Amino acid sequence: MLTVSSLSFAYPDGRQALRGIDLSLAAGERVALLGPNGAGKTTLVLHLNGVLHGGSGSVVIDGLPVNPRDRSSLAEVRRRVGIVFQDPDDQLFMPTVGEDVAFGPANFGVTGADLHARVDAALAAVDMAGHKDRSPLNLSGGQRRRVALATVLACKPEILVLDEPSSNLDPVARRELAEVLLRLDATTLMVTHDLPFALQLCPRSIVLDDGAVVADGPTRALLGDAELLRRHRLELPFGFVLS
Give alpha helix (H) positions in the chain: 41-48, 71-80, 97-107, 112-125, 141-153, 171-183, 195-201, 219-223, 226-231
Report pTM.
0.93
- Determine the longest span between alpha carbons in the chain, in angstroms: 55
pLDDT surpasses 80 at 20: yes
pLDDT surpasses 80 at 243: no
Cα–Cα distance for residue pair 226/213, rounded to 1 Å = 18
pLDDT band at 70 (very low <50, low <70, confident <90, very high): confident
Domains recognised in the chain with CATH numbers: 2-93+159-231 (3.40.50.300)
Q: What is the mean pLDDT of the chain?
A: 94
Mind listing the pLDDT tens digit for each residue in 134-160?
Answer: 999 999 999 999 999 999 999 999 999
